Amino acid sequence: MSEMLGNYHFLVRNYSSAIKELEEVIAVCPAENKAKKKLIICYTQTDQLNKAVDLFYNLVKEDIDCIINTDPEIEDCPCPELTRNLEEGLIERNNEYELAVELGILWLYCDKEKSLKYFQKAWQLSSSDKRIAVIIEKLTTKW
């Protein structure tokens, strides 16, 4: 039931409500990468960037292809709209580093080169988060 409800909330872009359901799915089935992919997006849209980065980092290390091979249309992924709104300033973020990280995460669902560009920008802004270095390394060694 949690998976269906989590998917419903995600589809209607009720990210806060989707989080609880998707977290329950992952608690029961830790290998459920589709739920993790959605949960990462939910975290970015509910001001829980650190949780998003943690989950994203682990998923990139385990199975980067599950993110890269996302089909935004089939999976009803909101990333194209979210990245556009973030880049155009329609969704405001006060911290340039956090904006670069969020865009890096979201772009990987659609365009790995743009994702890498934003993670490199985040690393230039602040090289204190070693997770970003590992993500960059994974993105550059994957291709």
Note whether 46 and 19 are within 8 A (CB): yes
Closest CA to 32 of 5, 52, 59: 59
pLDDT of res. 141: 87
pLDDT in tens, 50-63: 999 999 999 999 99
Low-confidence ranges of the chain (pLDDT < 50): none
Matching residue, tokens 């089935």:
29
CA–CA distance, 22 with 24 (Å, rounded to integer)? 5
Write down the pTM of the prediction. Answer: 0.95
Residue spans per domain, the chain? 2-142
> Residues near 139 by Cβ (< 8 Å), separated by ≥ 6?
60, 64, 108, 112, 115, 116, 119
Q: 2-142: which CATH architecture?
A: Alpha Horseshoe (1.25)
pLDDT of res. 119: 97
pLDDT of res. 65: 93
pLDDT of res. 4: 93
